[in-house]
């Protein structure tokens, strides 16, 4: 199986038809769309926005592919693009996201299949409470927490992804977790 760099090279190699390039890019999408969707979903808190922003991420990745530096991590580059889109989206939205927890409690029926699948997932009660609390954090704190605990990135990787100083990442992480603990109460 070809790795990311090989597929990107195929997209940019200057050989073959546009359809060949898209085939290579489609393979990249198929490989990464679940991961990006998960990350975006955890930041935004609802499947509809997550699907839109995931699409937007890949369109932006495709249109900027010629600026990607081969040899670097493609996934890290996509995470940066996705995180920035999420932060911008949350900032524009300006109101706290409606959490999955609240959606289920309020009996709002999900229309799409993604939501139907989501309902099948049994979240542990603690996780549900933590997730609901995370959705109430400011956008950048939320991004830091998701990258740290959903994506499992190191602090240095988060700093690089979000283009933030390491100290700022630490501050946001610690304050974000403290805020979550305060909202969740004792677990």
Partner 1 sequence: MDCSRVQPLLEEYFEGTLGEGRLAAPRSAELVADHLATCARCAAELHQIERTVAAFEAIPQVVPSRELLAAITSRVAELPAPRERRTASGWRWVAVTAAISMAALGAISYLLPLLITERLAADIAALGKLENAAILIREWFAAAPAILLALWVTLGKLWQWFALTARAVAPTVGAYLAVEVGILCAIVFVLHARSRRTPARQTLLI
The answer to the question of residue 97 lying near partner 1 (CB under 8 A) is no
Cβ neighbourhood burial of 126 (10 Å; 0-12, 13-18, 19+): exposed
> Binding string to partner 1 for residues 136 to 155, with x set by CB under 8 A, is what?
---------x---xx-x--x
- According to CB under 8 A, which one of 3, 70, 93, 105 is a site residue for partner 1? 70
Distance CA 113, CA 146 (A): 24
Residue 77 binding partner 1, by CB under 8 A:
no
Residues 73, 61 contacting (CB under 8 angstroms) = no
Copy the structure tokens of residue 179.
């805020």
| C-alpha 95 chain-centroid distance | 19
Q: Which of 33, 80, 87, 102 binds partner 1 (CB under 8 A)?
A: 33
43 vs 29, 78, 110, 154, 159, CA distance in Å?
20, 15, 18, 18, 17
When asked if residue 123 is in the footprint of partner 1 (CB under 8 A), the reply is yes
Quick one: 65 or 87, whose CB is closer to partner 1? 65
User: Which stretches of the chain bind partner 1, using CB under 8 A?
Assistant: 11-14, 18, 21-22, 25-26, 29-30, 33-34, 37-38, 41-42, 47, 50-51, 54-55, 58-59, 62-63, 65-66, 69-71, 112-114, 117-118, 121-124, 126-127, 129-131, 134, 145, 149-150, 152, 155, 170, 173-174, 177-178, 180-181, 184, 186-187
């Amino acid at each position: 199986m070809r790795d990311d760099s090989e597929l990107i090279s195929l997209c940019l190699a200057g050989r073959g038809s546009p359809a060949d390039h898209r085939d290579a890019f489609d393979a990249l999408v198929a490989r990464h769309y679940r991961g990006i969707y998960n990350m975006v979903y955890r930041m935004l808190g609802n499947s509809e926005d997550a699907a839109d922003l995931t699409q937007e991420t890949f369109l932006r990745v495709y249109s900027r592919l010629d600026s990607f530096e081969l040899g670097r991590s493609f996934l890290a580059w996509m995470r940066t693009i996705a995180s920035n889109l999420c932060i911008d989206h949350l900032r524009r939205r300006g109101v706290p996201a409606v959490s999955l927890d609240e959606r289920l409690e309020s009996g709002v029926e999900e229309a799409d299949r993604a939501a139907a699948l989501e309902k099948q997932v049994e979240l542990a009660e603690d996780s549900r409470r933590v997730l609901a609390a995370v959705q109430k954090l400011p956008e950048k704190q939320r991004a830091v927490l998701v990258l740290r605990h959903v994506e499992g990135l190191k602090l240095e990787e988060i700093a690089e992804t979000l283009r933030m100083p390491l100290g700022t990442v630490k501050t946001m992480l610690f304050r974000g977790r403290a805020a979550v603990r305060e909202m969740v109460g004792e677990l």
